[in-house]
Structure 1
Amino acid sequence: MVKLAAAFHNVSLSFLRWKIMSFAKCKHGLFLKFASFMMNFMGGASYMLFAGEGSSKQLCQYISRNGVRKILVVTDKPLVELGIVGQALAGFEGTDTETVVFDAVLPDPTFDIVEQGHAVYQENGCDGILAIGGGSSMDAAKIIGAMVTHPGDPRDLVGMGKAPNAIPPLFALPTTSGTGSEATRGAVISDSQTHQKSIIAGANLGPDAACIDPTLLTGLPPHITAATGMDALTHAIEAYISVWDKGDARDKARAAIRIIFKQLPVAYSQGSDIDARDGMAHAAYMAGQAINQVNVGNVHAIAHQLGAEYGVPHGLANAMVLPFVLEMSLPDARDKLTELAVLIGKKSAEEFIAAVRDLNQQVGIPTTCEQLRAEDMVAIRDRAVAEANGYSSPYYMENDDCDGVLRQLLAKES
């Protein structure tokens, strides 16, 4: 009798868990349909791109010709010290545009940093913003721009469409090939107190023009080339397997994936190769255009927590998480992953995932996250699953799924 009662109890618990899971999936499905419907009202993004060797000069001249007289340059100190910012700004020589450099941006910019940048903008009477750097500089620039026309606490802008007013002219000059922020209408921001990462997004937050100049990328160190390149690959894959199919997102994603598998190993091992740098810059831009239409997915939901909790660089976090999440997603993403396998000369979804692992290995991405601690995993899991529920991933990630990914990322010595 006892065994029978225990068996009945276990069956009841399993049935209850199934009912809860079914309700959660149904609720998530309804949310995605509503979100997809609302995104249609944002309208399509417009893109202006200057590309090729020396194109940074064209961007500077374009900014000046459009009447910007004092531009806030949002960047970081290392880029200033390396001379890259000076090289990029040389295009303003002989124009009527003054530059004011704000170089306090750090990886994973915080509300404190964007508030400092906003103060510099106002104190100097700027009338435009130019981001020079990686995703952190571009994201910070977008939020500084939003603060100009939405006075108050930038925390109030977190979410979708909470910054509806047009922002000052915004331009982007990426010095890495990965984030795609030069093509997107969203920005990631961190809270220095809670370590929570949030997204501020809206139709007005995309750059008015961007520039991908490969001559500014040749000095990028191999480990940054690797991490940012795999970041772009993550964007492209998550856009391609998304349950949303909007605009030309899948076409952009396919093009980016094909380029990255060919050019990232070259850019990593031969950093001065202009063709490889140019290819990676275009791939990152196209991947950014893809996620601008359909958003990211479960990989980012987990990677964001590793960045917020431990300061793991975003591209590196994505790269480590990517193959594990793709394996988790096989039940619902097999067909799309098989299509990507064929794209790169493989046959099956499993072979595509293996190719992602091989690419990670070629460019020195570790297989585990040395910062991850077992005692932090529940909190990380909870935040990741909550974030994932807002994405259009093909696989509905639950606690057990996320726990499985984190266990595989956990270094043995932890």
Structure 2
Amino acid sequence: MQTVIAFILVFGSLVFFHELGHFIFAKRAGIMVREFAIGMGPKVFGMTKGETLYTIRLLPLGGYVRMAGDEMDTVDLQPGYRVGLILNRDNVAEKIYLNQKVQNPNVLFMEVERADLEKGLWVEGYDEDEQFVRINVSRTAKIVENGTETIIAPYDRQFNSKTVGQRSMAIFAGPLFNFILAFVVFAFIALMQGVPTFEPVIYDVKEGEPAAEAGMQAGDYVKAIDGKPIEDWQELSGTIQDKPGEELTLLVERNGQELELTMTPKVLNESGKEYGQIGVMYQSPVEKNPLKALVFGVTQTYDYTVLILSLLGDLITGQFTIDALSGPVGIYKATETVAKYGVYNLMNWAAVLSINLGIMNLLPLPALDGGRLLFFGIEALRGKPVDRQKEGMVHFVGIVLLMILMVVVTWNDIQRFFF
């Protein structure tokens, strides 16, 4: 149960912040957001606030922000439709009933001749007395069909009515918020636990190893090796590893006094490469400083971004195969392991996953945010949008291929962890 809760919290947070980015910048651009969904598939919970339906769905496979103007979003009143209109005091339609009987004496029934619910906002047709009427439609009018109410979306509230820049930002904001989430989590961890200083201070010394035999003690601060100043632990470790079997003189500070210790690193071999080791353990001292915590958040986000991009490059160049990838099952198992080591390790894992989600979504592949941004870039260069049907077909093919990839990766995870 602990693992399930941890997975839901981690996955839910990543999806929520990703979709929140889309949502905020869509609203900033004046785009009507029909639905803000966490998860996919059947609805488990739903709540309508304003013009947006907020839902939690059954399958933990992502989420979405459904913006007005999607292909499945438009409502066309075709000639011959029989509709019922409820008018306000100014004779402007506030509700339009479709495909249902309405027991309301104030409803104006008419047979539609023509209608424009996007730009002109009017309906023309013949009433029950066969008189031709033209009724203006409110910008916030609701279409009622089979008991379900949907607010109409005037063209200026639709996604495709906005500039390339506004549309691009609404799409880019999802991955952007994943990077922002990672930064906030890393900075919070550093604020709570302290920022590692990476000072070259010895945490512990193993008995019988070169460092112990030379007289090194826990708490020694290594200032130089063979006269070369040492700035941090990485430099100390790298210098020793690069000098296997060579006698070294370490200048250390102990209780305010400087001492010189001579030792020869053991020669170890890994994958045919020799490296040196003196038998010391390290645990970086920490410093609680809000400003440094913010800097730490930035550097950690940057470092993990570079690392993930490097691994992605290895995948593209074939240095490791698709079998190394993990899907929801693999992430669940990894979360199970990380959760055992405490909340801060779980938060760190969530931040890394958030960066990974942001990067994956920015790949210029169909159906991903990066694929849509690619089409916006082409539109900006051409001065006109790519044909919507062609773009839709490309994204559809992309969705199919991604689903196939998801099935393959999930099957690999199942075989890896359960067989």
Same fold (TM over 0.5): no
- Could you state the TM-score of these two structures normalised by the residue count of structure 1? 0.21
Q: Report the structure, 1 or 2, having the larger strand content.
A: 2
Q: Report the structure, 1 or 2, having the larger helix content.
A: 1
- Could you state the TM-score of these two structures normalised by the residue count of structure 2? 0.21
